[in-house]
Amino acid sequence: MKRSASIFNKEINYNVLVFFIAVYFGLVLNIPLWRTFYEILSKIEVVNTGFVISLPIFIIAALNIIFQIFAWPYLGRVFFSVLTLISAITAYASYQYGIIFDYGMMENIFETNTGEALSYFSLSGVITVFFIGVIPCFIVLFIKTKKQSFVKDFVIYKLISIIVSIIVIVLIAMFFYKDYASVGRNNKYLNRVINPSYVYTGIKYLDRNYFTKPIAYQKIGTDAKLVQTATSNGKPTLFVFVLGETARSQNYQANGYSRPTNQYTQPYNMISFKNVTSCGTATAVSVPCMFSAMNRSNYNKAIAYNQDTFIDILHRAGISMLWKENDGGDKGAGDRVREITLKHGTENPLCDGESCIDMALLDNFDQQVAEMKGNKFITLHIMGSHGPTYYKRYPKDHTFFKPDCQRADIENCTTEQIINSYDNTILYTDYMISQLIQKLQSYSDKYNTALFYISDHGESLGEDGLYLHGTPYSLAPEYQTTVPMMMWFSKSFTQDRGLNLTCLENIANNAKRGDYSQDNVFSSMLGIMDVKTSVYKPQQDIFRQCRTN
């Protein structure tokens, strides 16, 4: 206690304290950056030793310049203590899961519900953040600084510190500019790995979403109408759209995976597209993009949230709509239709107070279908395979692959356990879909039924040191950007739509990566529901070439 007390009794020059904070950030809170540099430099045949030595010096000097600019009496301590704590959390997440805190990750963070966010916390994470974040925070807040005259000492020392740092950077540039330019050009994401670069992307997100004047809402497809008011057999349509979460195509038995992760739906001969690409690597991007009229190449979040989706257009054409939510929000896609969000209370045996397993979405399904009129379109937004708490996505009696990882800090599980837990989530989604198909089959005398399933994005399970999802799209591995897309149609539905399933299956089996993506969803849903509108793009309708009417 005496030793720790003596630390707080010592007086230090305020600007020197700021420099030490820059050193701490550069050497400790940027360990993920140094690991990234190690991975990059290990692939280069000849590496300049002086360049390697200069890297931490360059980062510390650059951070010192920025920190000195923001370091002023009274508010400075609070600012740096908060910055240190948040940076400790981001450093842990970056090191353990390979997360890069770019704009897309900021969307994911700000738009994640509380229960989902809490699932990322683990004991090892809390302990790590305590030592590298909380303790340094207290030091910054309570260490004594020398009394200085504002101009003579404080401002002069600040200017000296900044000038010296600038000189250091200039000298490094003079000797190693070629090395920095080469590594920088070939690895443009590096600036987003530096801690705390998330401050810039966070401010950018807040500005766009809370301080920028929202654009006016735009209705599209106002000419939408059903091609035929009555089906050929007189039965209305009941179409179920299952919106998946964090399922990657590579772990689907239907797509060539060696494990029986689709054993429940196998008897129903679902048609599976295995090379479908996602619009983003996080729900906050993929869902609004997928439901909008935009493609990934021209996607704009502000427009997506203020423009009709295919859900709105189907509704306008006279189709009865229902959205059932179990994954923290529809991201604007179902805002204007009837929506039911599952309550997580423990009175439901399928819920634990924080979340529900996806079979809970089938509760009261019959009654809800009966309450709808005419042709019906139901969207089920499932929790699917959302991590890192994979084990919470399936009940214990559905633990098929063992041993699984029964904890949130998946970095402390073996690779085998993580994959087993993840595959259990895929298998449970498959079980839920099989139960849904059975239910749709029971409606065969009343409806022409169909089911369409697609995930929002994929997941990394430790490949190349990456876990979870949200990696910038340009850097993301195919595990995060390749999603399953599966569909089932009743006999009466295919007959009414003139849909040739053999043709559709041939297309699915022969499709290559890039042939189909979430860009196809918008027009495919309009087309298969027989809605005619000027915003429909026939070339993006995956069903069109296999229909005879």
Average pLDDT for residues 309-324, to the nearest whole number?
A: 97
pLDDT digits (tens, 9 = 90+) for 18-68: 999 999 999 999 999 999 999 889 888 788 899 999 999 999 999 999 999
Rounded distance, CA 541 to CA 538, Å? 5
C-alpha closest to that of 330 among 342, 320, 315: 342
Average pLDDT for residues 276-290, to the nearest whole number?
A: 95
Query: Domain locations in the chain?
Result: 2-210, 238-546
Q: Is 393 helix (H, G, I), strand (E, B) or coil?
A: helix
Rg for the chain (alpha carbons), in Å?
Answer: 27
Concatenate the DSSP letters of all residues of 308-375 into one string: --HHHHHHHTT-EEEEEE-SS--TTTTTTS-EEEPP--TTSTTB-SS-B-GGGGGTTHHHHHHHS-SS
With tokens 């054409």, the residue in question is 317
More confident residue, 99 or 65: 65
Q: Tokens for 189, please give them.
A: 């994401």
Q: How confident is the model at residue 1 (pLDDT cuts 50, 70, 90)?
A: very low
pLDDT digits (tens, 9 = 90+) for 200-246: 888 888 887 788 888 899 999 999 999 876 677 789 999 999 999 99
pLDDT at 5 over 60: no
Mean pLDDT score of the chain: 91
What pLDDT shows up at residue 74? 76
Q: What is the pTM of this model?
A: 0.81
Q: Taking the domain 238-546, which CATH number applies?
A: 3.40.720.10
pLDDT at 186 over 80: no
- Determine which helix (DSSP H) or strand (DSSP E) holds 275, and give its type and residue range: strand 271-277
Average pLDDT for residues 456-475, to the nearest whole number?
A: 90
pLDDT at 280 over 60: yes
Calculate ∠ Cα 441-443-449, nearest 5°. Answer: 70
Residue 65 Rama label (left phi>0; alpha psi -120 to 50; beta): alpha
- Determine which helix (DSSP H) or strand (DSSP E) holds 8, and give its type and residue range: helix 2-9
Q: What percent of the chain has pLDDT over 90?
A: 69
pLDDT digits (tens, 9 = 90+) for 123-161: 888 999 999 999 999 999 888 888 777 667 788 889 999
